[in-house]
A and B are shown apart, each in its own frame.
Chain A
Amino acid sequence: MGYRLGVDVGGTFTDLLLFNVETGAFWRHKTPSTPHDSSEGILTGVTAICAAAAIEPSAIDYFLHGTTVATNAVLEGKGARVGLVTTEGYRHVMQIARSYVPGGLAAWIIWPKPTPLAALEDTVTIKGRINAKGQELRPLDESDVREQLGFLKSQGVEAITVSLINAYASGAHEARVGVIAAEILPGVPISLSHEVLPEMQEYERTLTTVANAAVRPVVGKYVSNLRAKLADAGMAGKLSLLRSDGGLMSALKAEEHPVNILMSGPAGGVTGALWVGRNAGIRNILTLDVGGTSTDVALIENLEPRRQRTTEVGHLSVRASALDVKTVGAGGGSIAYVPELTKALRVGPQSAGAVPGPVAYGKGGELPTVTDANVVLGYLPENLLGGSFKLDREGAKKAVQTIADALGIDLMAAARGIIDIVNENMFGALRMISVQQGYDPRHFALMGFGGAGPLHVNAVARLMGSWPAISPVSPGVLCALGDATTRMRTETARSFSRLASQTQAEDLIAILDEMAAQTRADLISDGVHEAEITSEFEIDVRYSGQAFEVPLTITADVLRADGVAGVLKRFDEEHHRLFTFNMDTPHEIVNLRAVALGKALDLPAVELPAGDGDPSDAKMRDHTLWMDGREQAAVIYDRAKLRAGDVIPGPAIVIEMDSTTLIESGCTATVDRVGNILINLA
């Protein structure tokens, strides 16, 4: 026996996916989110999905959860009031940040001045100095430290962050300040920068530590509330949260290091895509997660998603590992408009959001959106499954007509123009993570999910040359599926900053072994059996003087066998792939990382009954839509009735509970043995 429950809380809906570990059977459920207290919506969903599966909540062993609670706390400034202790002379480290103003020339005129995450009035400095070698130049002045902490106490701060200059080289002063802070502010959580992020660059280290401190109480409250509610409902399973890097961490660890779950939300879709890819036998995947206001894209190579060393939240770039997910302001709710001055067609980044939403939803929206264009063209049929929700096609037409008039073209051309532009924006984001990183998109499949991904996936695949275009099983709850099917993960990083020529493999192995022991202990304390843990290492290398490092994954055995020279050879190959040249400059080994992973789960997918290739049994009705500049006959199918091996010629539409798949003319879709729709050029 054994059930895993994945739960993804989004802005509008809470998605649940219950997975029977032995049979691979799963149940899915969507329920409105309850933003005032997410646990309400979650519990409603748990009750419903357990009823559907005819099990008791107590049968659920693992509750696996992707949440945007930390993200929102940062974006909406609802984190804790953080007191920041930094080195004398650096009080404005958060105010000056990196002095960077985004945008082009003159963009400073329209750039709003950001407020630091730790308020300046709650930032104090202390005497005492450590140099870049980690040597003490001036001792801590403890009476000064006590006075400053006393001031922060009187300010009423809810969390303390200590981030001193060069703490990456020696944390001695920070540790001592931490001890004194615990005395003076008992019960107030304390974050030390050399523990949270022992890496060079004072602004990034401070920001990351402050972000961690700011979201800690919020995440703590959220988790304990959720845990209590679940216990009340009779669930005794283990509660884990999805990290930004696609692994799981225990809720307990997440409370301590919430900076690791800032991008928990988007990571769910990518881990879901991994599960789908594994079962469909497709190893190279570009993901296209289309939501209401934005689209997230990521790259998976050989069933391993690309990760990056920073997590972007709003305008903040926090140093914590995350899946390399790029977000572009293009989604179903993106508004189309034509600026008077240039008469260009622009789509987004402004969005109609959930309220008032697209015109077709009839909730008061008046501006034409991408969804409206899809309705006008017939890609989103007016009567969705069950007929409970009817789209206002006439309203959508009226709105899109305003665009047609402004451009001087006809209605259908304007609607298709909106779709083409939004697809192009998605294409741009996909290029950034593929072509720009030296990957040929023709070697990848494109998987569309989220509410509107399967509507756009075919057209975007055409632009990319990425085939097949995949509409996975349960595209609307793929994030929850990802939550349910990924594994435990933790990592630690250290600055190394030494020339490769002065480094022996043994030096690296010694440090990496120590880091591995630390990460393994982490997982063990999270309840993972020692025997199930695997360790991986990463070494960041660059040409000395460059700002950009290439992370290389390696094992201790390979490092022993090939030595540092082997690492450098791989770096040169990777550098050449990315930038088309190599240099004679010496190599620098910049950072070391150790990753510990829990057991990889072998979770099967349920196979569909085999059909005879003819999808007629699933046909709902005939339909017409606009494509390739003309009206065309199409067929609408019910996804639940499709069989393995069914072949669907385009143009066609496949409908299910929470998503619609569009198969374009000139393409053919095949249903694979586990229910994914794979679209290829005919």
Chain B
Amino acid sequence: MPATIVQTNPTPFNKIVIDPVTLDIIENALRNARIEMDATLVRTAMSPGIREQGDAFPLIADHTGKMIVGQFGSFIGGFLNQFDGTLEDGDMIFLSDPYSCGGAVSHSNDWLVLLPVFKDGRLIAYTAMFGHMSDIGGKVVGSMPINARSIFEEGVRIPPVKIWKAGEYNSDLMKLVMHQTRKPDWCQADLNALIAACRVAARRVIEMATRFGDDVYVSATQELLGRNHRAMQELIGMAIAEEPVSFEDYICDDGVGYGPYKIKCTMWREDGKVVLDFAGTDPQSAASINFFLNENMFRMFFGIYMIMVFDPQILFNDGFYDLIDVRIPEGSLLKPKFPAALSGRTHALGRIFDILGGLLGQKTPEFLNAAGFSSSPHLFYSGNDTRPGKNGEWFQLFQIGFGGIPGRPLGDGPDGHSLWPGFTNVPNEFLERYFPMLIERYETEPDSGGAGLHRGGNGIRMTYRLLSPGTISIHDDRWFVPPWGVNGGHPGQRARKILEKADGTQVIVGNKVEDVTVEVDDQLHFITWGGGGWGDPLERDPALVGKEITQGLVTPAGARAYGVVADARGQVDAAATEALRAEIRGSRGDLKLFDYGPSIEDLRANCMAETGLPAPIQPVWLEAAE
């Protein structure tokens, strides 16, 4: 049963011919409304995850639920088909269960509010936003147990319900939900922030409709959808071949000992449409690294990568969706069956972007970026603060780390930056003031960015000195399969985690671990991956390599990957450099379009020696994904 929409005014919107200028003005106003949503959210949210890191995503849709502004695509159509109820003025939908919305949110930590916007009795738009809640209960702090066997272990799961019903707030519902989390204060503030952002956008939509007229506004949204459709149609004809191209990459492990998991995508053009087929992707995991990939979301990612280059001012919308056919096998890592656990989906979500880049760039290497879209490395640290004067107060930290941005056609990848839009790091002085920790080191990891004409960005080495006993959990990837380089560039270095005890002994910690007990004065070295390199490293200016030695970004040993011989002060030995470069050129063979580093077999064989961790075990499935 699809949702029943209750409108007191049944008059349909009239289609009006919109002149191009009015259209552009409405497009601009919609863009501003979206910026306003973000600003409202960041100012009123409270969890460090949202307020400092901006982990939230806004959307404005037309009256049929198609996204007009946003970047994660619209799920509203799918939601309406599944929602067995009414939708009327004064309602606001609240949900977090990925299985109830076709993966619009992909783990239960993401809380989503959806506001149908009514004007004069007619449904004229939807506004929606989702954001990551720091804790929603469940078996571990932060509610993302990597070793969960089903979604029931991952905290409160909210099916689509009405948080506001015909203007009336459902406070019992919210009491029940907030009772499940370890951080009701953060959840309540963050939810308020999401709601305030949706209301602001709704107000703007109504103002626009008032200013231009309802029919003009609605017709303009349709024309904007049409504009995206036409643009994409042209691009597809231009940039996508009929001959299929494939690309595959891996998630290193599932946190319970198995891996790597392959994600494969094949792309071709057929009857003017693009087919993106994930056949060949491994079946779902028994643990929580599954990523319930919403087809529309992937359409949007694809569209953004395609259109970005040609008219960066365009407002991305759903208009081109029927031109993209996304096929995801049931029961695969990207379309797991209920009740598969989903909380650790961040790694596959990140990897999707490396795969997109690898797919689209194959025919046009000059536009190809290296790999580095690893994931969002997560750290959880919690306990009762035993420092004097703290009275054993409960604390919990969820922090997202950053790594190296890949080498790009444009130039070097920035060191220690975020590939996610809007994300920022948490100031270390903030961490030291509000959590029992001292950040002893916050520097980029030299040589971690892959060598190339354009160097991959370095990852970050962050050393936490923990000042209270407690537990930590870590979710990271790219520790086993390196981020690849392109056009002759080398792969970046892999992620590592080391726990250094007060007596100096070091323990290698896995990159997906739960509930590791820590003691006072333990130091955790949290080292993230480096971006892959772009282009032939032997073409890089030796003086620049020397300079980067003095900057602490490259070491003399690392300089040899560029064929550069230099000392610790960055002085380049020109003759030795010449000789080394000649030697490398003579022996290396043809430059590879993609340099993945060693084969999976070799990585496995050398895993313990290179990473200090046992190699993941090849998962075996009874049946392949369909």
Contacts and interface: CB of A to CB of B under 8 A. Distances in A.
A103 B418 CA distance: 11
Contact of A546 (B46, B308, B369): B46
A131 B43 contact: no
Interface in B395-431: 402, 405, 408, 410-425, 427-430
B52 A547 contact: yes
A560 B51 CA distance: 33
B539 interface: no
B20 A431 contact: no
B416 A424 contact: no
A425 B442 CA distance: 40
A27 interface: no
A89 B547 CA distance: 20
B32 A345 contact: no
Contacts of A165: 428-429, 432, 439
B463 interface: yes
B545 interface: no
B35 to A, nearest CB: 8
A105 B304 contact: yes
B615 interface: no
A167 to B, nearest CB: 9
Nearest to B50: A547
Contact of A106 (B305, B417, B547): B305
Contact of B29 (A407, A416, A428, A580): A428
A204 B457 CA distance: 22
Among B19, B24, B310, B425, the most chain A Cβ lie within 10 Å of the Cβ of B24
Given A101-B421, A344-B27, A583 B428 contact: no
B440 interface: yes
A90 B46 contact: no
B21 A121 contact: no
Contact of B551 (A108, A120, A129, A579): A120
Nearest to A545: B46
Interface of A: 89-93, 95-101, 103-114, 119-121, 129, 131-132, 137, 165-166, 168, 200-204, 339-346, 407, 409, 413, 416-417, 420-421, 424-425, 428, 431-432, 436, 497, 543, 545-548, 578-581, 583, 585
A272 to B, nearest CB: 28
Contacts of B47: 545
Contacts of B441: 89-90
A342 B314 contact: yes
B28 interface: yes
A417 B20 contact: yes
B415 A497 contact: no
A89 B442 contact: yes
Given A96-B442, A436-B36, A112 B311 contact: no
A111 B412 CA distance: 10
A203 B52 CA distance: 14
Given A342-B231, A583-B189, 12 more contacts: A89-B440, A105-B301, A106-B304, A109-B410, A111-B414, A132-B432, A341-B235, A341-B307, A344-B24, A407-B20, A432-B36, A579-B40
A342 B28 contact: no
A581 B423 contact: no
Contacts of A96: 415-417, 425, 442-444, 460
Nearest to B552: A91
Contacts of A113: 411-414
Given A345-B21, A583-B189, A201 B36 contact: no
Contacts of B3: none
B308 A200 contact: no
B227 interface: yes
A132 B417 contact: no
Interface in B67-103: 71
A200 B429 CA distance: 6
Given A90-B443, A342-B311, A546-B44, A101 B417 contact: yes
A352 to B, nearest CB: 18
10 contacts: A95-B553, A99-B417, A106-B353, A110-B410, A165-B429, A166-B432, A342-B230, A345-B20, A420-B21, A578-B43
B43 A346 contact: no
Given A96-B444, A121-B550, A131-B432, A341 B189 contact: no
Chain A binding surface, main DSSP class: loop
| Those 7 A-B pairs whose CB atoms lie nearest each other, nearest first | A89-B441, A548-B43, A545-B46, A120-B551, A417-B21, A547-B51, A96-B416
B39 interface: yes
A90 B429 contact: no
A585 B189 contact: yes
A98 B552 contact: no
B420 to A, nearest CB: 8
Contact of A92 (B310, B311, B416): B416
B199 interface: yes
B547 A339 contact: no
B186 interface: yes
A192 B365 CA distance: 48
Interface string B508-534: 000000000000000000000000000
B429 A202 contact: yes
Given A341-B311, A407-B20, A547-B43, A108 B419 contact: yes
A216 B310 CA distance: 42
Given A96-B416, A101-B414, A345-B21, A166 B442 contact: no
Contacts of B234: 341
Nearest to B192: A581
Interface string B24-66: 1101110110011001101111110001100000000000000
B314 A344 contact: yes
Nearest to A546: B46
Nearest to B443: A92
A545 B422 CA distance: 19
B491 to A, nearest CB: 19
Contacts of A546: 43-46, 51, 189
Given A99-B418, A407-B20, A409-B20, A579 B196 contact: yes
B523 to A, nearest CB: 11
A421 B442 contact: no
A327 to B, nearest CB: 15
B587 interface: no
A98 B424 contact: yes
Given A109-B410, A343-B20, A344-B314, A202 B552 contact: no
Contacts of B440: 89
A309 to B, nearest CB: 13
Contacts of A416: 21
Contacts of A132: 429, 432-433
Given A104-B304, A547-B52, A424 B28 contact: yes
B21 A581 contact: no
B120 interface: no
A497 B429 CA distance: 13
B46 A106 contact: no
Interface in B345-402: 353, 369, 402
B313 interface: yes
Given A106-B305, A131-B432, A92 B415 contact: yes
A585 B192 contact: no
A543 B189 contact: yes
A202 B19 CA distance: 50
A393 to B, nearest CB: 22
B312 interface: yes
B544 to A, nearest CB: 12
Contact of A99 (B35, B196, B369, B416): B416
B192 A432 contact: no
B185 interface: yes
Interface in B440-466: 440-444, 460, 463
A105 B21 contact: no
B593 interface: no
Instruction: Output the residue of B32, B301, B422, B429 with the most chain A CB within 10 A.
Output: B429
Interface string B313-328: 1101000000000000
Given A91-B443, A108-B405, A425 B192 contact: no
